[in-house]
Amino acid sequence: MTDADGAGQRALSVVGAAVVVVDGVGRSTAPVHVVDGRVSVEPAPGAEVLEADGCVVTPGLVNAHHHLLQTAFRTLPGTRGVPMATWLPTMAAAYAAAGVDPELCSVAARAGLAEALLCGVTTVADHHLTWPAGADTVGMARATAAAARSLGARLVFVRGTARDDPETAAASATAIAEALVPGRPDGVSADGLLQLAVGPAGVHSDGEETFRLLGEVAARFGLRRRTQSNEQVDVAVAAERYGRRPLELLAAWGWLAPDVTLAHLCDVTPAEVERIADAGATATHAPGCDLPMGWGVAPVAALRVAGVPVGLGTSGGGSNDAGHLLADARLAMQVAPLGGGALAAREVLEMATTGSAAGLGRPELGHLRPGAAADLCVWDVSGVADAGVADPVDGLLWAAPGRRPRHVVVAGRVVVRDGRLVSADEQSVVAGLRARVGR
């Protein structure tokens, strides 16, 4: 038996866990067996044994909304506690000064993805929005994908736009799809480690032609579509420019559909919640961005009750200075009552796994049922931070929000072992970014 890279069978058994979170509702104490990158009912002869004594095992977390480039631009002066109209040009000036090119995309992605793996995030959706005029867009996409592959992370690369020329953006998205996933009908590489999607930043930045042309690219290559909707700026610009609500525009432009995921959704009415549900669209909650930007709290409980699959994302370093999805899961629980309804730890963990995977159209991710992609995290809950916790899975989210997993496995490969990256040195990743941006 060989894997997609021809490297031979990968066999692993994770044993001794106090609790294994199989999916949103299922728990077990049985070992998790991995054969050829998939969860298996039976162990393989000679499988590596990964000890999980005193640990909780969960599916790998899925960050459904990130901007990896912003990892190079965290805590910039002038980007905290300011309106979007100030934030955008401040970030743009920093990008221009640094020079966005394949090298910067590579070092920023390596840092952001290394952080993700060390925080238990095995899949990251990177909504890339910054494309300087004349840039090597295919090279930038390749560099980001190569960074993910070098570390062993799964990447969803979203060819985004933010006021780009519509035809140029569509041509770039086409070239990226032809170069990175040639011949793949769903935009997912043969080994499942890379997926492509498209997505304008929102109706506040891009017009109907951009949405139409990128939608055509998505249809041609079988790509998912993603956009940001109903933040304060989105609602304000839509009203001023079109005299309509963002979701009205998205529906009119063909972007309220089952293959579309909407991030943020801080300002939606009960009727709009039902409209999203009726359309079959999915949502992504990003409280670690929405709160510091002053956008409010999405009505996550209402969305879930209406039947909308809701994922969880961190957004980027320009608004949320960390890519620690488990910490944002805790924040989501803390602020949920302000959004109209409390959320249990089980529900938010489901959002960070199967909910995010649903928005990516990836039913093999986010759970540990037989046949699932073998992405998992082993979390040590034996220390003082978890002392007195009645339910170790609840405690995983409520206690010690900055915790790191002991081990992380992606596609059956151990990529973090005993809290350290397997395929890269953490300090060399940091040094690479510092050498480029001077911080």
In a domain, 231, yes or no: yes
Are the C-beta atoms of 13 and 47 separated by less than 8 Å?
yes
Identify the domain boundary among 311, 326, 359.
Answer: 359
**294-329 tens-digit pLDDT:** 999 999 999 999 999 999 999 999 999 999 999 999
Q: 261 and 348, same structural domain?
A: yes
Interval 141-151 mean pLDDT: 98
Identify the domain boundary among 359, 385, 411.
Answer: 359
In a domain, 430, yes or no: no
Distance between CA atoms of residues 179 and 202, nearest Å: 26
Residue 391 corresponds to which tokens in the numbers above?
Answer: 């339910």
**Does the pTM of the predicted model rise above 0.85?**
yes
Q: 33 and 81, same structural domain?
A: no
Residue 51 corresponds to which tokens in the numbers above?
Answer: 């000890």
Specify the pLDDT at position 113. Answer: 98
Interval 86-115 mean pLDDT: 96
Q: Give percent above pLDDT 90 in the chain.
A: 95
Q: How would residue 9 be classed by pLDDT, with cut points 50, 70 and 90?
A: low
Q: 36 and 177, same structural domain?
A: no
Closest CA to 276 of 227, 336, 340, 207: 227
Specify the pLDDT at position 438. Answer: 85
**Better pLDDT: 375 or 9:** 375
Residue 122 corresponds to which tokens in the numbers above?
Answer: 């095995």
Q: 126 and 21, same structural domain?
A: no
| Residue given tokens 């046949």 in the structure block | 371
Q: 278 and 247, same structural domain?
A: yes
Burial class (CB in 10 A: 0-12, 13-18, 19+), 435: exposed
42: CATH? 2.30.40.10
Does residue 439 carry a pLDDT above 80? no
Distance between CA atoms of residues 71 and 333, nearest Å: 25
The count of domains in the chain is: 2
Interval 259-286 mean pLDDT: 98
In a domain, 1, yes or no: no
In a domain, 429, yes or no: no
Q: 239 and 177, same structural domain?
A: yes
**151-166 tens-digit pLDDT:** 999 999 999 999 999 9
Interval 196-215 mean pLDDT: 98
**381-406 tens-digit pLDDT:** 999 999 999 999 999 999 988 899 99
Distance between CA atoms of residues 156 and 413, nearest Å: 19
In terms of residue numbers, what domain contains 180?
61-359
In a domain, 428, yes or no: no
HEC readout, the chain: CCCCCCCCCCEEEEECCCEEECCCCCEECCCEEEECCEEECCCCCCCEEEECCCEEEEECEEEEEECHHHHHHCCCCCCCCCCHHHHHHHHHHHHHHHCCCHHHHHHHHHHHHHHHHHCCEEEEEEEECCCCCCCCHHHHHHHHHHHHHHHCCEEEEEEEECCCCHHHHHHHHHHHHHHHCCCCCCCECCCCCEEEEEEECCCCCCCHHHHHHHHHHHHHHCCEEEEEECCHHHHHHHHHHHCCCHHHHHHHCCCCCCCEEEEECCCCCHHHHHHHHHHCCEEEECHHHHCCCCCCCCCHHHHHHCCCCEEECCCCCCCCCCCCHHHHHHHHHHHHHHHCCCCCHHHHHHHHHHHHHHHCCCCCCCCCCCCCECCEEEEECCCHHHCCCCCHHHHHHHCCCCCCCCEEEECCEEEEECCEECCCCHHHHHHHHHHHHCC
Closest CA to 191 of 359, 47, 37, 365: 37
Does residue 7 carry a pLDDT above 80? no
Distance between CA atoms of residues 33 and 421, nearest Å: 22
Q: 252 and 180, same structural domain?
A: yes
Interval 410-418 mean pLDDT: 98
Q: Which residues, including other chains, have CB under 8 Å from residue 438's CB and lie 6 or more apart?
A: none
197: CATH? 3.20.20.140
Q: 190 and 43, same structural domain?
A: no
Q: 108 and 33, same structural domain?
A: no
Q: What is the mean pLDDT of the chain?
A: 95
In a domain, 407, yes or no: yes
